[in-house]
Amino acid sequence: MKEISIGLLGLGTVGSGVVKIIENHQDKLMHQVGCPVKVKKVLVRDIKKYSENGFQASLLTTDVDEILNDPEIDIIVEVMGGIEQTREYLLQAFHNKKHVVTANKDLMALHGGELLKTASENNCDLFFEASVAGGIPILRSITEGLSSDKIVNIMGIVNGTTNFILTKMSQNGAAYEEVLKQAQELGFAEADPTSDVEGLDAARKMVILATLGFSMEVNLEDVSVQGITGVTEEDIQYGKQLGYTMKLIGIAKLDGDKVEVSVQPTFLADTHPLASVQNEYNAVYVCGEAVGETMFYGPGAGSLPTATSIVADLVAVMKNIRSGVNGISNIAPQYPKQLKTADEMFSKYFLRLHVADEAGVFAKITSLFAEHGISFEKILQLPVVKREVAEIVLVTHHASKQAYEDVLVQLNDLSSVKQIKSSYRVERGSIQ
C-alpha cells in the first residue's frame, strides 16, 4: 500500500488538532503503520474562511459526497458533531467500505449499537475513544487492557465544565451563577451550558462506558440524571465540615446480572481519589474483580488532547488495514440488559433540613428514619438561621434508594419539617 488517505468531516478546534498532529508526526506514523498517511479532503462550511487561515483551498470542500464517495479515501474522521445528519453520513461511509473514527459522544450514546452493527456488516472499523474523557485512553483500557477481567464498578468525573464550576465554588465560596459566568468567560462553558450543567453530557458518556464496561446495551433513558444547578455554596460548605467534596459523578455499578447507571451531584469522602480532581480535568475510576481499583486521569477536552485520542484510533484502524483484520473488533454486547429497581440500589445520603425549633422534632425525624431501617452516620445541628427555624444536616448509613425516597415523601408531610433544602448521594473513600 502506497499511502492511507483520510477524509475529515469538520475542521473546528479538534479537527485542526488532528490535521496538525498528522502533519507534524509523519515520521512516527510512518514507523507505526509502514506507509505514508495524508489528509486528502476536509469538509467545511466556508472554504474562504479556512483558506484565509492557512489551509490550502484544494484540501477543502463543502460537498460531503466528495469525501464519502471518493474511492481513494480509506478512513473518515468525524469531528463535526450533530446527530441525525451525521448518523446518515457515517452509515453511507460504511456502505462505501470506509472505516470511521469519531469523537461524537452524543451520536454514539444514541445510535452506537446501529453504527457498530453496520460497520461489522461491511467489515469496517468504528473507533470512538475521543468520545469520552478527551485525551484519557479510557475506552481502550476497558475493552483491551481490562478485557480479561470482570468490571463491576465505573465511577467518573467526565464533564470538565461542571468540575470547574464545583471546584471554584468550593475554593472561593462563590455562588453557582457567579462561577458559571466565569467559566463562560474562560471558554470552559458554552453560551448555552444546559447539556453540561444539567448532566446530559456526562450521562451520554456514562452510557458508552457502561455499555463497553459491562458488555450490555445501556441506553440514555436508563440513566438517572441530576445536574448541578441546584447546588448551593452552603451545601458545599456543610459538606466540607463533614469531610466531603462535591463533584458531579457518573456511576455505573454491576451487581450480579443487574446494573444501575446515574449522574448526580455527589459528596465524596475527602480521601477518595476523585475528590482531588480539580478544575476542567477528568478522571475515571474503574474496579474489576481481579485487578481491583484503577484510576485514569487527564485533560477531558481541548484541541490536542482530544485529537491525540483520535489519531491513536486512526493508528489502530491503519494497523488493521495493513493486517487485513478490519471489522472484527466491533464486538456486540454479550449480556441482556437488566436494570436494578430502586430497592436494589444502595448508598449513603446527605440530607439538609429546615425544621421547627421546638422540642421533640428531632425525635420524630429519627423515628421516621428508623421505621424504614435507616440509621445515621453523622449529624450536624446548626445554629438557628432565623427565628423559630433550625437547620439539621444528616448523613445516613447505607440505605436503599426506595427506602430513602419514601422517607423524603413522609418528611414533606411533617408539619415540623419546614423545608427539605438539599439531598445528595454520598460515596466513601473507595469504590469497592
Secondary structure in 3-state letters for 54-102: CCCHHHEECCCHHHHCCCCCCEEEECCCCCHHHHHHHHHHHHCCCEEEE
Are residue 318 and residue 389 in the same domain, yes or no? no
pLDDT score at 303: 78
Q: What is the mean pLDDT of residues 14-26?
A: 92
Are residue 66 and residue 143 in the same domain, yes or no? no
Are residue 110 and residue 153 in the same domain, yes or no? no
Q: Binning pLDDT at 50, 70 and 90, where does residue 112 land?
A: very high
Are residue 165 and residue 240 in the same domain, yes or no? yes
CATH of the domain at 289: 3.30.360.10
Are residue 250 and residue 350 in the same domain, yes or no? no
pLDDT at 384 over 90: no
Contact at 8 Å (CB) between 30 and 1? Answer: no
Active-site option among 41, 98, 205, 247: 205
CATH of the domain at 396: 3.30.70.260
Residues recorded for the chain: 432
pLDDT score at 188: 82
Distance CA 394, CA 396 (A): 6
Are residue 232 and residue 166 in the same domain, yes or no? yes
CATH of the domain at 25: 3.40.50.720
pLDDT score at 127: 95
Q: What is the mean pLDDT of residues 245-255?
A: 98
Q: Binning pLDDT at 50, 70 and 90, where does residue 160 land?
A: very high
Write out pLDDT tens, residues 290-326. 999 999 999 887 778 889 999 999 999 999 998 888 8
Question: Among residues 234, 264, 299, which one ends one of the domains?
Answer: 299
- List the Cα angle 70/74/80 in 5-degree steps: 80
Helices 13-24 + 26-33 axis angle, to 10: 70
pLDDT score at 34: 87
In a domain, 151, yes or no: yes
Are residue 308 and residue 375 in the same domain, yes or no? no
Can you give the residue range of the structural domain that contains 12?
4-134+303-323
pLDDT score at 328: 80
Distance CA 310, CA 322 (A): 18
In a domain, 334, yes or no: no
Distance CA 299, CA 280 (A): 7
Distance CA 317, CA 328 (A): 11
58-62: which pairs have CB atoms within 8 A and are 24 or more residues apart?
60/11
Which are the contacts of 179, defined by CB distance < 8 A and separation ≥ 6?
164, 165, 168, 169, 172
The total of other beta-carbon atoms located within 10 Å of residue 31's CB is: 9
Write out pLDDT tens, residues 29-84. 989 988 899 999 999 999 988 887 788 889 999 999 999 999 999 999 999 999 99
Total domains in the chain come to 3
Distance CA 425, CA 203 (A): 16
pLDDT score at 432: 52
In a domain, 335, yes or no: no
In a domain, 383, yes or no: yes
Mean pLDDT of the chain: 93
In a domain, 329, yes or no: no
In a domain, 391, yes or no: yes
Are residue 309 and residue 364 in the same domain, yes or no? no
More confident call, 184 vs 388 = 184
pLDDT score at 325: 86
Are residue 204 and residue 292 in the same domain, yes or no? yes
205 catalytic? Reply is yes
In a domain, 337, yes or no: no
pLDDT at 271 over 70: yes
- What percent of the chain has pLDDT above 90? 79
Write out pLDDT tens, residues 166-191. 999 999 999 999 999 998 998 888 88
Are residue 253 and residue 287 in the same domain, yes or no? yes
Are residue 167 and residue 122 in the same domain, yes or no? no
In a domain, 189, yes or no: yes
Write out pLDDT tens, residues 192-234. 999 999 999 999 999 999 999 999 999 999 999 999 999 999 9
- What percent of the chain has pLDDT above 70? 97
What is the pTM (predicted TM-score) of this model? 0.92
What are the start-end ranges of the E strands in 195-290? 223-225, 244-255, 258-269, 281-288
Are residue 167 and residue 248 in the same domain, yes or no? yes
What cell was used for 79? 469531528
